[in-house]
Structures are given as C-alpha cells and as structure tokens.
Amino acid sequence: MKNAMIGLLLATALAAPALASGNHAGGHGEAMAVGEPGDKSKVTQTIRVTMKETSDGKMVFTPNNFKVRKGQTVRFTIKNEGELDHEFVLDQEDKVMEHKAVMEKFPEMEHDDPNAIRLKPGKSGEIVWKFTNDGVFKIACLVPGHYDAGMHGDVAVAKK
C-alpha cells in the first residue's frame, strides 16, 4: 500500500510540469471546441471586459455573458480593475472545470495558452478569438477561489 501511494504521488508530481506547460487544447494538435486563435485583421467585434472584486466579497467579469456568431472573430480587451491577479479563460465547460481542479492543486501554474490571459492589478491585455463552433462556452477566472466567488460567465455562439 505504501509503495502504491508513493507511486501515485510520484506520477502526480511528474505529470504536474506537463499539465502546467501544456496547452489546454490537449497539447497534441487537437482542435478546441470553443474555436481557435483569431486573425487580428478579421476582427468583426470588440468586447471590453473588466475583472475585479466587489465590496461584498464577490469577484466578477463585467459583462459576464456574451453573444457571438459561429465563424466570427472577436477581440476581447480585458482589464484587471481589481486588487488581485485575475485570469480570463475561454473554453468549454468541462475543460474549464478540469483546469479549475488542476489550478486548485497547483495554484502557481503558469499558462501560455491563446485562450487565456492572467493579469496583475491595473494591467490590460487582449485575446483575439475565432468561434468555429456553435454552442455555449465558459469564461472563468481559475485562480483558486475566484470561480467560486462568482468569476465566470457564458459565451453563447449562435449558428450563422
């Protein structure tokens, strides 16, 4: 039993760098259901999003629900107006929840994914994204505790 636990811990520790350094599209060239990085020259809509904490302890995206069209390329301009680091992660719900679980185990995990950005207080950034599939996808801040404090929302992608 002790050897099995050591083996499990070792396997988890060895997998952590792979999880931390891989992209959340699976890392093997597979397409993401939520879409793909977009071409800045093909942006048809800019959505401005702020991230912050509220005086009552909630953490929010404003706005937190969006409607776009399949095939559309959108520029999300994101500003952290809060006092803590925040993330903007765009993905399908099951992938967001998997990523959330990993972040809770490895809160200092670094990201280098085209569908996510982490910003320090007062900083801004952008994500340019082409929505290649219709459906409802998630935005979320996966810094431990932030999702549970309300920092998530939906992106509804309509058929053309």
In this structure, what CATH number is given to the domain that contains residue 132? 2.60.40.420
Asked whether residue 29 is domain-assigned, the answer is no
Q: Is 61 helix (H, G, I), strand (E, B) or coil?
A: strand
Residue 42, domain member (yes or no): yes
Within-domain flag for 98: yes
In a domain, 20, yes or no: no
- Strands 124-130 and 116-119 turn out to be unpaired
Could you read off the pLDDT tens digit of each residue along the chain, which spans 160 residues? Answer: 444 433 433 344 434 433 333 334 444 356 899 999 999 999 999 999 999 999 999 999 999 999 999 999 999 999 999 999 999 999 999 999 999 999 999 887 777 899 999 999 999 999 999 999 999 999 999 999 999 999 999 999 999 7
On whether residue 4 sits in a domain, the answer given is no
pLDDT at 54: 96
Do residues 48 and 77 lie in contact, with contact meaning Cβ atoms separated by under 8 Å? Answer: yes
Q: Residue 53 domain-assigned?
A: yes
Domain assignment of residue 128, given as a range: 36-158
Give the number of domains in the chain. 1
Distance CA 70, CA 90 (A): 15
